Structure 1
Amino acid sequence: MKIIVCIKQVPNTSEVKINPETKTLIRDGVESIINPDDKNALEAALKLKDENNAQVVVLSMGPMQAKEALLEALAMGADSAYLISDRKFGGSDTWATATILAAAIEKIGDYDLIICGRQAIDGDTAQVGPEIAEFLNIPQVTYAKELKLQNGAVTVKRYCESKDYEFEVELPALITAIKELNTVRYPSVRGIFKAYESGEDLIKVLTFDDLNVDETQIGIKGSPTNVHRSFVPVKEKHSEFIEGSTAMEKAKLLLTKLYENKLIQSGGAK
């Protein structure tokens, strides 16, 4: 059984700042990490590997520095890794990114299950995983909080705000993971030594020439969406003291103020 896990190296958003003049993210000196939801996806694959003797392949798209994320995934227990890296892929939106990832997955081939994180913390779109499934024409279940394999199918408990739903889909299929799915393991000492001593040999780099993709469908020019600008939301606080001779009078004044600011639907107290 082969499980492909898609991961992304992202800036640690707890430390990201925005240039007040250019309104762009300041990435210099900011730590890069594996996207949190993607770590839950990797942990799910590693658990299935432990239970079913599966092969776990990790796939990422980005600059060469993304090898660090792949090395960490190998240290955690993944068997091999692919890095998709080419200047022609730069600036791809979710559609173009999913197009490239789907082409890479088709090249790797012979997969049974694809697991992605629900969404990346630097984009929060939750679109890439579902789009990959559409491009590959395979079933998908998003927001997985539980999953198990049995009889050539995967059973997934999907989180929803109202209640959870359970689905069973035949393989191959794609699943997106949320943090409630599991607790991510730490790399073992043996895994760390193995990954950082010979991990480079386990990472294969794929470029534009290696993939069957249409150049008009990737990169900035091939992306149907783009980021117009980034900005820091302005948070303003205003305080006002409600005065009155009695508690009832204060309550009436408070309700009137709430109504005037359209925070409640009914009028003031009577």
Structure 2
Amino acid sequence: MGFPGTWMTESESVVYRVVPKCACSTIGQILYYSDHGRYFDGDIHDAKDGLHKWAMDESQPLIEANVSAHRSFAFTCVRNPYTRILSSFFDKICGIQRNGKRYRGNLVPMLVQKYGVEVGDPENGFEFDQIKSFRRFLLFARDTIRWRRPMEPDIHWSAMSGHISTFIVNGGRYDHIFWTEKFNEGMQQVLDRIETPVAVEIDKVPRFNESEGHGPKRAHPVEDYFDDLAMHLTYEIYKRDFQLFRYDFENPANKMPVGEIDLDEVHAKLGE
């Protein structure tokens, strides 16, 4: 199994477990900059050098040796499940991807046909009933996660605890988990505890949001998308995420965590 979704700087200063839709583009660029003194020109997910990634065969033995021996500081980053699933919907389902096409080819047409989801298009300014469509997408996301139909769950809406657990189950240990909602503070805590070839000033780091600008803007406050049933579905999908990472299930309007993350609890619950 190894360590899927794991990135490591070439200097081996730090190890990062990627969690989709949790500032991963910005974090990847910070790691790249901390070795090379410049940002990668393009989407960091496309970088084939300058950063070790588990997806690249030549990086695997280096990552495996480092993580198994816990030679470097290891961290990851999480996000409120309500805003994360909303972001997945607007980016992956409604948005046009970097290649100019819809995400995963026939996925959106299938959602339109089987779940009655509308996504709008650039020609009409993405005009559609966002709340109704999102709630139908949420039903689809639940079906993929609970029953793995009509397809396997996608990495962008599968639970954060699932991504994070593979690192633990295969022998890794996290030194820090922080919240996207307190990004600068959390990333600074990582930088304070590692030695990097190039110093990073967190306040000067641009935000690398690769999904920005190719789809509709969210037209309503977060809480408007989640009626009682939508909240129930979200909790069914992300119960562990709410509990382990201390997010407020009762109030979708509150994106901030309501307690501290207990690393020992995370390792105990996700290492089973």
TM-score for the superposition, normalised by structure 1: 0.27
Structure showing greater radius of gyration is: 1
Could you tell me the TM-score, scaled by structure 2's length? 0.26
Higher RCO structure (Cα 8 Å, ≥6 apart) = 2
Higher strand share: 1
